[in-house]
Amino acid sequence: MKRFIAAVVLGLSLAGVAQAAIDTYEFAKEGDRERFRELTKELRCPKCQNQDIADSNAPIAADLRKEIFRMLGEGKDNQQIIDFMVDRYGDFVRYKPALNARTALLWFGPAGLLLGGFVVIAVIVRRRRGQRAETPPSLSPEERQRLDQLLDKNQE
């Protein structure tokens, strides 16, 4: 019995999660539904960080979804809607931040590190090649004679 109750409680709680954050909006144009989905995926919830506003149950995320719906109805384009959000909540709300002086490191940092890695590898490879070329290909006659002597001595 206890098990059964636990299962029911677990099931109910899962159902709650699955149904959360689904609002019913009637879109005037079919294209708007797709844009709404895109925008709510790209904007980040300011309260529950690390969730987009499509995904979040926070009241503020619901408000922002409503606001996006309203602006879509007014015929605003995506850039206008994103600018509206950035004006109020800052670059933080964008999962794809705009390219500016403050976000340059974010955009180019990984590529820069990768490039740096390649440069280090190139330098090491080149240096090794140089070293190999520098080593004398064979022993001088005197050295060879001495080597033979040593080897002979060992064999005896």
Partner 1 sequence: MRRWLMLVPLAIFLLVAVFLYRGLYLDPAELPSAMIGKPFPEFSLPAVQGDKTLTKADILGKPALVNVWGTWCISCRVEHPVLNRLAERGVVIYGINYKDTNADALKWLAEFHNPYQLDIRDDEGSLGLNLGVYGAPETFFIDAKGIIRDKYVGVIDEQVWREKLAARYQALVDEAKP
79 lies in the binding site for partner 1 (CB under 8 A)? no
Q: Yes or no: say if 97 and 91 are a contact pair by the CB < 8 Å rule.
A: yes
55 lies in the binding site for partner 1 (CB under 8 A)? no
The only residue of 37, 41, 47, 129 in contact with partner 1, by rule CB under 8 A:
47
The only residue of 40, 42, 46, 72 in contact with partner 1, by rule CB under 8 A:
46
The only residue of 24, 26, 59, 138 in contact with partner 1, by rule CB under 8 A:
59
For residues 50 and 138, which CB has a smaller minimum distance to partner 1 in the complex? Answer: 50
89 lies in the binding site for partner 1 (CB under 8 A)? yes
24 lies in the binding site for partner 1 (CB under 8 A)? no
**Contact stretch for partner 1 (CB under 8 A) within 7-15, 29-37, 43-51, 143-151:** 43-51
Binding residues for partner 1, rule: CB under 8 A, are: 46-47, 49, 59-60, 63-64, 67, 86-92
